[in-house]
Amino acid sequence: MSLLAVRTVEKPWGRDQLPAPFMAPYGKRIGEIWFEPIEEVCSLLVKYIFTSEKLSVQVHPDDAQAKDLGEYDTGKEECWLVIDAEPGATLGIGFHEPIGPEAMRAAALDGSIEDLLVWHPVQAGDFFYIPAGTVHAIGAGVSLIEIQQNSDITYRLYDYGRPRPLHLDKGIAVAKGEPYAAALHRHLSPTGTVELARGPYFTAHRVEGVPDAALLTEYAGPMLVLPRRGEVELGGHVLRPGECAAAPAASAITFTPESQSILVRAA
């Protein structure tokens, strides 16, 4: 068992008050809680994100695009599980109408790209799969869990006038100027075991209580476990919400009927 180290990341759009069990250090605006990847599951990164302002309008490349653009990292495919949202909170994902590269560049330069995105109202339990190339922005007042390829490549297309560089050439080169597929978004009930994601890079499930035999077979190799409610035990260590650990297999974890956990493995 390896309990993953936690990295607390300050962001201008972060919060000075975080939902339990997290606490922001005095005077700090925390936007992300990272669980540092380790060798056994080095291709995966899991993090919590907390927003008080909108994040930039951005896009990530896939593996082939990252290589073609000379990046020294993989592409970035990700998914989001909203765990809390203030009234009126939204996520901007995809465009209302198809848009070409030059029109997208012009909209990024004059800021109108923000209005061309579809802003989805969200609440706890909303789940979104975000393929590489999807133009997106996380709105204010959202808390979510992000599961992603372990890559830090982000191309900002628009940043609301903040003094940070944009990456228009690379961003426009990889961006899909199209609406977001409705099938990639769904709302989950608060309880129950459900498959979250099954993509080219990772598989994830939310597990209520003790996983059945099929899930134990699904997670028979190196994986991550993220408790969401109650406790689970791994290697003599009790894991609680706010922690994440790497396990050799789901069968090595002692689940309780009262627990709810997220399991993630590389594809």
Q: 142 Cβ partners below 8 Å, 6+ apart?
A: 49, 50, 51, 82, 84, 85, 86, 89, 91, 122
Q: Report the SS3 class of residue 217.
A: helix
For residue 169, the SS3 value is helix
Residue partners of 232: CB distance under 8 A and separation at least 6: 225, 238, 239, 253, 254, 255, 256, 259, 261
Surface-to-core class of residue 256, CB atoms within 10 Å of its CB (0-12 exposed, 13-18 middle, 19+ buried):
middle
How far apart CA 179 and CA 134 sit, in angstroms, is: 9
Residue 88: exposure state from Cβ atoms within 10 A (0-12, 13-18, ≥19)? exposed
Whether 164 is catalytic is no
- Give the phi and the psi of residue 183 in degrees, each rounded to 5: -65, -15
Identified catalytic residue from 156, 162, 186, 206: 156
Give the number of C-alpha atoms closer than 13 A to the C-alpha of residue 13, restricted to the C-beta side: 18
List residues with catalytic annotation. Answer: 156
